[in-house]
Homo-oligomer: A and B are copies of this chain.
Amino acid sequence: MADKKMVEAITSMDEDFAQWYTDVVKKAELIDYTSVKGCMAFKPAGYAIWELIQQQLDLRFKETGVQNVYLPMFIPESLLQKEKDHVEGFAPEVAWVTYGGGQKLQERMCVRPTSETLFCDYYKSVVHSYRDLPQVCNQWCSVVRWEKETRPFLRSREFLWQEGHTAHASEQEAEERTIQMLNVYADFVEQVLAIPVIKGRKTEKEKFAGATATYTIEALMHDGKALQSGTSHNFGDGFAKAFGIQYTAKDNTLQYVHQTSWGLSTRLIGAIIMVHGDNSGLKLPPKAAPVQVMIIPIQQQKDGVLEAASKLEAEIKRAGIRVKTDTTDKSPGWKFSEQEMRGIPLRIEIGPKDIEAGRCVACRRDNGEKLTFSLEEAASKLPELLEQIHNDMYEAARRHRDEHTYTAATMEEFEKCFTEKSGFVKAMWCGDQACEDLIKEKLAVTSRCMPFEEERISDTCVCCGKPAKKMVYWGKAY
């Protein structure tokens, strides 16, 4: 039995979801506040999740021809100002460096909030002919946005992310790359993090500053709020014209490039917590779990227990699984609670009686199910079991999302959805930003996306009653 003391230390998620979230983040030792206001410290357990995300996403990027680079963290003010929409979107929330090496700078520089302007500057210097295209670059770095309200993983003044930036010869190729990377994100989030997503396009109001089109993957958290989990932008040739990025085409004419960018950040760790977690703490999907199996010896002081645990650990490691044994002098119950709080997908209990019977007991973190394995077979059975846990976690999240996705044909229904329930609401929209503004003002909900998989809920806009043009997913968002 798990020790209740540790569990009692966290607020119930049904009572206060926000407090539950903060408690889990703290008790699972993922991240911490620092003396630097609005900035967080990623602790080993939290950063290790990000490393697994990086490794697996980077592999998927490289399979599509992405090359990693690193550009400066500073952007001179004049560079930031070259693209009008972009500077309006970002200038209000940047941090400015004004002194360096004891002297006032001639031109102040911001710490990058995103690097479109730097990549434009870079592409202008390396792209000359059609032979230099496409350019498909990415960087892993941190960015800074001077947020007033901060929240672990979800919103902080500095956060970690990747930002891909590409330049293409044609409009069509740029659009294809934009969609390709959105699909890479969706597959990654579903197949690695076990989080189902809605793929779609952002409205004009919600699109990225400077983009012609922004695509997004949207996930639903346990409390019914939406989390934008990755975005991919098509810039057309807007940045190219502002920065003068031209190439000589095969027919010897001078053409502007077409660009894209796409990013995914550490807020995904927030999504993992809020999609999968429960009142015992974190639940990590196996592919994003730094430790996948924790062996907990029972009556470890007895002869042969630690030896048997250590033998089993070695076998499981050989099967390619990330495994540890908790040999500390804490009680087994306390160790169970810690393993549950930290979200380790599987624990294996092994004590004198088990050893005598040549078996061990595996307990799944996702659903509490207990399974008995013979000691010889255990290691060979675990990869499949971890795969099963991944699939079941994905299914549970999908079911929860589908059960919390509503449709509304009228404003009355629409309002009811957001006052009596919480989740995604699918409703028709005339395409007019006035309706979007009104809905946001009235209900504090935003359009999440116009999904690729459209339905026809009704013929008229849920807000104004004019003919409907698009189906929109609406939601309260983090």
Contacts and interface: CB of A to CB of B under 8 A. Distances in A.
Interface of A: 32, 34-36, 39-44, 47-48, 50-51, 67-76, 79, 92-102, 108-109, 111, 118, 121-122, 125-126, 137, 141-142, 144, 146-148, 157-158, 160
A142 B141 CA distance: 9
A158 B36 contact: no
Nearest to A103: B146
Contacts of A41: 69-72, 118, 122
A355 to B, nearest CB: 29
B72 A44 contact: no
A59 to B, nearest CB: 12
A89 B39 CA distance: 25
B35 A121 contact: yes
21 contacts: A32-B126, A35-B121, A36-B74, A36-B109, A41-B69, A41-B118, A41-B122, A42-B71, A50-B70, A73-B73, A73-B144, A73-B158, A92-B101, A93-B101, A95-B97, A95-B100, A96-B100, A101-B146, A101-B147, A101-B148, A141-B142
A94 to B, nearest CB: 8
A315 to B, nearest CB: 20
A68 B97 contact: no
Nearest to A148: B101
Nearest to A43: B69
Contacts of A122: 32, 34, 41
Given A111-B111, A158-B74, A34 B69 contact: no
For A79, A95, A111, A147, the residue with the greatest tally of chain B CB atoms inside 10 Å of its CB is A95
Given A35-B76, A68-B44, A102 B92 contact: yes
Contacts of A142: 70, 73, 141
B93 A96 contact: no
Given A73-B111, A74-B95, 19 more contacts: A34-B122, A35-B79, A36-B72, A36-B79, A39-B74, A43-B126, A44-B68, A48-B68, A72-B158, A73-B73, A73-B158, A93-B101, A94-B101, A95-B97, A95-B99, A96-B97, A97-B97, A97-B98, A98-B98
A146 B96 CA distance: 15
A365 B44 CA distance: 41
A109 B158 CA distance: 13
Given A95-B99, A96-B100, A125-B32, A72 B146 contact: no
Contacts of A36: 72, 74-76, 79, 109, 118
Contact of A48 (B44, B67, B100, B111): B67
Nearest to A34: B72
Contacts of A43: 69, 126
Contact of A70 (B72, B118, B160): B160
A108 to B, nearest CB: 8
Contacts of A34: 71-72, 118, 121-122
Nearest to A45: B67
Contact of A146 (B73, B100, B126, B158): B100
Contacts of A35: 76, 79, 121
Which of A42, A48, A51 has the most CB atoms of chain B within a 10 A radius of its CB? A42
A47 B158 CA distance: 23
A161 to B, nearest CB: 12
- Rank and list the top 5 A-B pairs by shortest CB-CB distance, nearest first: A101-B146, A39-B72, A44-B67, A42-B70, A96-B99
A44 B73 contact: no
Nearest to A124: B35
Nearest to A105: B95
Given A97-B96, A99-B95, A72 B111 contact: no
Contacts of A51: 68
Given A39-B74, A158-B73, A96 B98 contact: yes
Contacts of A72: 34, 36, 39-41, 158
Q: Which of A72, A111, A126 has the most C-beta atoms of chain B within 10 angstroms of its own C-beta?
A: A72
A141 B36 CA distance: 17
A79 B35 CA distance: 9
A367 B72 CA distance: 37
A453 to B, nearest CB: 36
Contacts of A98: 96-99
A470 to B, nearest CB: 34
A27 to B, nearest CB: 14
B75 A97 contact: no
